[in-house]
Structures are given as structure tokens and as C-alpha cells.
């Protein structure tokens, strides 16, 4: 009998603990409302829904000013107000911090749902909340969506639109292209992984010609391309951001680096390769580069183009990398110089061999006097420091003649040659 009683007590305790765990899994810890987990399961069960996301405006500032304790009290107050104001046809969820969701499966009254949400938002924004002797308001933005797929994501896109444009409320429409972007990113991710695994990240080469001496051999820049299964050549702006998000960017750099080295060795030509700040902050990439240079016989033909961005905030580390590769005989260029956030005092004090003047200045240097003045100033400063200049985006004969007149040393752009595989460039030259 004692054993039977013990077994029953144990079953009761297990059932109680299971119930507690289930409650925690499906409810927000700050309020008694269902949480995101319950919302996702309810959406999956219902299918096509009307959904609205409420999110407080500048809630971080509210917490910083009044304290996190009062912020939690404000969230509870908001939960009570929304619970009391939610129509019987809707379910309320507390999905994240200061974010709440209302769900309705009555899809045939979509317009009525939107107007009801708009009225609820107005009442929330107008309501006075009292705490002690203080009175405060909780202003919220709202994103509304009607969808059969990616329901919460669609509402979140609409919410971001409402906050971005300060409209208070925004209703998701296909023009926001969330689903299109989502599918495109997913497809590109798969293509990128396949390209890396099948060695189909390849360099296309663009010529860089001397403007001072036509007898000087042309140089080249290696530009990353992704070759898809059907042979489609994809430019870097379509996959580099995806590569960074998937943490595959080092693999792209690695593939490009070794293929450029191979071309230099086989063709005995000078080629530059792009490196980002992320590359120089990656110890494995830096180690790979230095190890390769230590045993390579053609370092004098390599130029590392460092992209100048706002992320370049540690110039000391960048200079260490520059000094290291130059000590092995390689050259260094600063890319996109003068693009709007250039720190001239830092960049010009770096020990670099080339400055590549940004396309935003070169593209209209033949017609815009301010661009012309800027290019002229950069050229003069570079000459005083013994640094050669390269004009990017030379797309017309007029631009070519202008940069040559201004004393630029090298030119690169579609007017001089379209990027392509090295073999194709040799055939065209022949």
C-alpha cells in the first residue's frame, strides 16, 4: 500500500511539474499571456490569419529614463489594457519584451480588422497610465498583415515600415517584397554553398592601364564571380552580403586568393585582389596570406586592395597588416578613396603604394567641377607622398581624357575593358 501511495504521489508530482513546464513554455514570464511559442502553434493550426503586432516606441529610452522596474510595470499595464480591449474574435499574445500580437482567423473581415486595430492603437496612445504621482503615455506602432504563409514575418515587415516612416500603423502589401527577398536570399544561400563546395567562386579580371606610359604592361584586378550550375555568372553584390551573414565570406576570400596567385604564376602578370576589414580581422585569413607570401616567388606582382569603409576604425591593426605584406614584397592599395567618409589624415599617412579614387568622383569628373577639384586635390596629395593614383569607373573616353589631364597614374573601367576570365582576355588582346 505504501509503495502504491508513493507511486501515486510520484505520478502526481510528475504531472504537476509537466504542467508547470508546459505553462512556462507557452506563457510569457512577465505577464500571464500566451507567448511566441503558442502564437506560432496557433498560426500553424489556423492557417490564413489577420495578425497585428504592437510595439512601443522608444521603449529603451523609457527604461533608461524611468528605470527597468518601471518599464516592466508599464509592460504589465499595457498587457492589461490590451487584454481588456481585445475583441472576443481575437487572441492576444505577449511575444517579446514590449511587443504584443493580436490574432484573428476571421479573414473575411480584413478591412474591419484593420479599422479595429487602428481604433485600439489610438485608444492606447491616448490613455494615461498612472504610477504614484507620475503620469505617462505608452505610444505604440503597429504592423498588420493578412497572409497564409510567413504570417508573423509579414506583420513584422509592416511594423518596421510603420516605425521607419512614422505612420503609426502600416498594413503589409506584396510591394514590400518581404517574401520575394526571403526566397531570393534562401535561393542565393543554396547557390553560394554549392559554388564553394564545387570550386565555382572564380576571379574575373579587369585591366588597369597606365596613363603616363603606354609601354608599361597592363595590370589587372581580380573580381569575385559565382558560377551557378547552369553557367550563369553572378556578380559579387548579389552574394557577398549573404556570404557574410552565413559566415562563408572567408571561404570566398580563400578561393579568390589562391586562384589569383595561380594566374600570376602562370601568366607572369600583376594582379590585385580585394580584402575587407573583416579579412584583416580574421587571424586565419591573415595567417594564410602571410604563409603563402613566405614561399611565393611573385610577390612583387601582387597588390592587396583594402576597401576603405566606416568599419576601418582601427588604423593601427590595418597598418600592421600593410607593413607585413609589404615586407614580403607585395603592394597595397586603398580602394574607394574619397567615397564620402575618407579620413585623409590616417589614410595618407599609411604606407601604401596606390590610392584608387572612388567611382562617385570619377563617374562625372568630366562634367562636375567639384568632382574635378576633389580628384585634382587627391592626386596632388598623393604625388607629394609618393603614392600612385588609380581612377575607377572610367566608362567613357571623356572621363579617360579628363583623369589623364589631371595627372592620375592609372585608369580602370568598362571603357578600357569588361571583366572576364583571363583566357578570354588573352584571346581578345590577340
Q: Residues with Cβ < 8 Å from 181, sequence gap 6 or more?
A: none
What is the predicted pLDDT for the residue at 8?
66
User: Burial letters for 74-106: b for 16+ Cβ neighbours within 10 Å, e otherwise?
Assistant: bbebbbebbeebbeeebbbbbbebbbbbbbbbe
pLDDT reading at 310 higher than 50? no
Q: Are strands 140-147 and 169-171 parallel, antiparallel or unpaired?
A: parallel
Rounded mean pLDDT of 2-13?
A: 66
What is the predicted pLDDT for the residue at 58?
84
pLDDT in tens, 107-154: 655 778 888 898 899 899 888 888 777 788 888 999 999 877 788 888
Banded pLDDT at 5 (limits 50, 70, 90): low
Q: Which residue has the higher pLDDT, 429 or 32?
A: 32
Question: How large a percentage of the chain has pLDDT more than 90?
Answer: 49
pLDDT in tens, 396-416: 999 999 999 999 999 999 999
Looking at the DSSP bridge assignments, the partners of residue 201 are 226
Give the cell for residue 60.
Answer: 529603451
pLDDT reading at 158 higher than 50? yes
Residue listed under C-alpha cell 512556462: 24
Phi/psi-derived region of residue 168, left when phi > 0, alpha when psi is between -120 and 50, beta in every other case = left
Task: Return the ∠ at Cα 203 (arms to 307 and 395), rounded to 5°.
Answer: 65
Rounded mean pLDDT of 360-367?
A: 89
Q: Please state, rounded to an integer, the average pLDDT across all residues of the chain.
A: 87
Banded pLDDT at 313 (limits 50, 70, 90): low
Q: How many CA atoms within 13 Å lie on the side-chain side of 326?
A: 15
pLDDT in tens, 178-199: 556 777 788 899 999 999 999 9
Distance CA 389, CA 357 (A): 7
pLDDT in tens, 66-105: 788 888 998 999 999 999 988 888 899 999 889 999 998 7
Distance CA 124, CA 82 (A): 8
Banded pLDDT at 260 (limits 50, 70, 90): very high
Report, in angstroms and rounded to the nearest whole number, the Rg of the chain calculated over CA atoms.
Answer: 30
Distance CA 230, CA 239 (A): 17
Give the cell for residue 199.
Answer: 570550386
What is the predicted pLDDT for the residue at 106?
74
Cβ atoms of residues 339 and 368 within 8 Å: no
Cβ atoms of residues 142 and 162 within 8 Å: yes
Rounded mean pLDDT of 42-54?
A: 88
Banded pLDDT at 291 (limits 50, 70, 90): very high
Give the cell for residue 230.
Answer: 547552369
What is the predicted pLDDT for the residue at 341?
46
pLDDT reading at 215 higher than 60? yes
Cβ atoms of residues 30 and 76 within 8 Å: yes
What is the predicted pLDDT for the residue at 186?
86
pLDDT reading at 263 higher than 70? yes
Distance CA 136, CA 56 (A): 13
Residue listed under C-alpha cell 588573352: 426
| String of DSSP letters for 189-237 | HHHHHHHHHTT-EEEEEEEEEESS-TTSPPEEEEEEEEE-TTSPEEPGG
What is the predicted pLDDT for the residue at 93?
96
Distance CA 87, CA 428 (A): 71
What is the predicted pLDDT for the residue at 180?
63
Cβ atoms of residues 182 and 150 within 8 Å: yes
Q: Which of 31, 55, 70, 281 is nearest to 155 (CA)?
A: 55
Strand, helix or coil at 68?
helix
What is the predicted pLDDT for the residue at 231?
94
What is the predicted pLDDT for the residue at 209?
97
pLDDT reading at 430 higher than 50? no
Q: Are strands 169-171 and 219-227 parallel, antiparallel or unpaired?
A: unpaired
Rounded mean pLDDT of 249-258?
A: 96
Distance CA 318, CA 281 (A): 9
Banded pLDDT at 387 (limits 50, 70, 90): very high
What does the DSSP 8-state code read for residue 238? G
Q: Residues with Cβ < 8 Å from 178, sequence gap 6 or more?
A: 150, 153, 154, 157, 172
Banded pLDDT at 348 (limits 50, 70, 90): low
Cβ atoms of residues 354 and 334 within 8 Å: yes
pLDDT reading at 303 higher than 70? yes
Rounded mean pLDDT of 42-69?
A: 86
Residue listed under C-alpha cell 602578370: 269
Banded pLDDT at 394 (limits 50, 70, 90): very high
Cβ atoms of residues 65 and 162 within 8 Å: no
What is the predicted pLDDT for the residue at 141?
93
Rounded mean pLDDT of 32-52?
A: 89
Amino acid at each position: 500500500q505504501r509503495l502504491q501511495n508513493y507511486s501515486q504521489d510520484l505520478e502526481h508530482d510528475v504531472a504537476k511539474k509537466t504542467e508547470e513546464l508546459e505553462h512556462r513554455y507557452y506563457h510569457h514570464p512577465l505577464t500571464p499571456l500566451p507567448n511566441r511559442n503558442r502564437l506560432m502553434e496557433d498560426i500553424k493550426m489556423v492557417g490564413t490569419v489577420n495578425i497585428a503586432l504592437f510595439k512601443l516606441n522608444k521603449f529603451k529610452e523609457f527604461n533608461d529614463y524611468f528605470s527597468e522596474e518601471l518599464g516592466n510595470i508599464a509592460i504589465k499595464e499595457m498587457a492589461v489594457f490590451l487584454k481588456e480591449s481585445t475583441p472576443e474574435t481575437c487572441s492576444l499574445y505577449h511575444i517579446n519584451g514590449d511587443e504584443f500580437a493580436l490574432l484573428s482567423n476571421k479573414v473575411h473581415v480584413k478591412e474591419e480588422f484593420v479599422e479595429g486595430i487602428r481604433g485600439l492603437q489610438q485608444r492606447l496612445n491616448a490613455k494615461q497610465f498612472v504610477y504614484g504621482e507620475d503620469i505617462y503615455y505608452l505610444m505604440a506602432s503597429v504592423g498588420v498583415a493578412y497572409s497564409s504563409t510567413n504570417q508573423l514575418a509579414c506583420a513584422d515587415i509592416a511594423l518596421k515600415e510603420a516605425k521607419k516612416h512614422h505612420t503609426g500603423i502600416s498594413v503589409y502589401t506584396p510591394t514590400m517584397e518581404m517574401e520575394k527577398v526571403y526566397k531570393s536570399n534562401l535561393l542565393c544561400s543554396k547557390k553560394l554553398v554549392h559554388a564553394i563546395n564545387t570550386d565555382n567562386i572564380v576571379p574575373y579580371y579587369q585591366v588597369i592601364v597606365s596613363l603616363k606610359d603606354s609601354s608599361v604592361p597592363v595590370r589587372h584586378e581580380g573580381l569575385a564571380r559565382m558560377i551557378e550550375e547552369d553557367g550563369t555568372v553572378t556578380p559579387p553584390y548579389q552574394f557577398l552580403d549573404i556570404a557574410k551573414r552565413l559566415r562563408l565570406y572567408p571561404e570566398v576570400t580563400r578561393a579568390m586568393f589562391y586562384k589569383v596567385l595561380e594566374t600570376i604564376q602562370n601568366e607572369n602578370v600583376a594582379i590585385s585582389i580585394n580584402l575587407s576589414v573583416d579579412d584583416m580581422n580574421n587571424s586565419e585569413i591573415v595567417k594564410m596570406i602571410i604563409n603563402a607570401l613566405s614561399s611565393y616567388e611573385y610577390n612583387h606582382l601582387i597588390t592587396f586592395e583594402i576597401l576603405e569603409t566606416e568599419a576601418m576604425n582601427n588604423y593601427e591593426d590595418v597598418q600592421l597588416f600593410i607593413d607585413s605584406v609589404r615586407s614580403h614584397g607585395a603592394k597595397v592599395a586603398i580602394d574607394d578613396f574619397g567615397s564620402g567618409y575618407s579620413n585623409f589624415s590616417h589614410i595618407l599617412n599609411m604606407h601604401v603604394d596606390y590610392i584608387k579614387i572612388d567611382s562617385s568622383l570619377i563617374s562625372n569628373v568630366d562634367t562636375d567641377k567639384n568632382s574635378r577639384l576633389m580628384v585634382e586635390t587627391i592626386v596632388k596629395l598623393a604625388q607629394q607622398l609618393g603614392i600612385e593614383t588609380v581612377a575607377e569607373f572610367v566608362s567613357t573616353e571623356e572621363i579617360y581624357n579628363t583623369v589623364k589631364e589631371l595627372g592620375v597614374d592609372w585608369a580602370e573601367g568598362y571603357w578600357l575593358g569588361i571583366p572576364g576570365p583571363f583566357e578570354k582576355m588573352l584571346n581578345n588582346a590577340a
